Amino acid sequence: DQQVKQNSPSLSVQEGRISILNCDYTNSMFDYFLWYKKYPAEGPTFLISISSIKDKNEDGRFTVFLNKSAKHLSLHIVPSQPGDSAVYFCAASGSSNTGKLIFGQGTTLQVKP
Amino acid sequence: DSGVTQTPKHLITATGQRVTLRCSPRSGDLSVYWYQQSLDQGLQFLIQYYNGEERAKGNILERFSAQQFPDLHSELNLSSLELGDSALYFCASSSNDRNLYGYTFGSGTRLTVV
């Protein structure tokens, strides 16, 4: 049972344009969502997060949008840079007293110069 | 360097064998998490320890076990290895028992079972 899904395995955009990465979830008990970025041969690094009480969170070029009614979140990167080329994972957390995260399968972003 | 150290980086072993993966969390972090990433899969949660005690368990096989020691480093033991256990194993740490500010991940141990 895949509770967090990233339906696009890959995405290619031109440098300077917007990158939009999507994520869907099924469990309405999830109350916190995170995005991680992963380069080859490295562990994932935390990028940005959003609580379920918000619908938008911004950090520099990165913005995460949450649509609770649709159980959908997205990560916008504007403007995209070649250094943003990586695998992006979305993750979700329930309201239990643990740090357990449920990850999506990841989307490989390629930003072309 | 994220501050989370995983050893070894690579491990090749035969089916039926037992291996131990080691993780040293970032200084001051009390929680350690283990995740498995198989080919083309997302990260699957295995287990969490907080200050030496098991806090949460995922779909961890009975052949797998883990512990967190008084110095807060953690070990993941995998026994009776099968070909399907070949994967990247990540350790992460956080200062609290939740993930409010995201984890810090190590660079992983790549296990190949032949």
Beta bridge pairs of residue A109: A11, A86
The residue-averaged pLDDT of B92-99 equals 80
% of chain B with per-residue pLDDT over 70: 95
**pLDDT attached to residue B41:** 78
- The verdict on a CB contact (< 8 Å) between A45 and B105 is yes
The residue-averaged pLDDT of A65-75 equals 97
Distance separating the N- and C-terminal Cα atoms of chain A? 38
B66 three-state secondary structure: strand
DSSP A43-74: --EEEEEEETT-SEEEETTEEEEEETTTTEEE
Across all residues in chain A, what is the average pLDDT? 93
Instruction: Please enumerate residues of A whose Cβ is less than 8 A from a Cβ of B.
Output: 4, 6, 32, 34, 36, 41-46, 49, 89, 91, 93, 96-106
- The verdict on a CB contact (< 8 Å) between A99 and B56 is yes
Residue B70 has pLDDT above 90, yes or no: yes
In chain A, the residue whose alpha carbon lies closest to the alpha carbon of B10 is A41
pLDDT one-digit tens code per residue, B5-56: 999 999 999 999 999 999 999 998 999 999 999 887 789 999 999 999 999 9
Beta bridge pairs of residue A10: A108
Distance separating the N- and C-terminal Cα atoms of chain B? 30
The residue-averaged pLDDT of A60-76 equals 97
**pLDDT attached to residue A2:** 81
CA distance B102 to chain A (A): 6
Residue B78 has pLDDT above 70, yes or no: yes
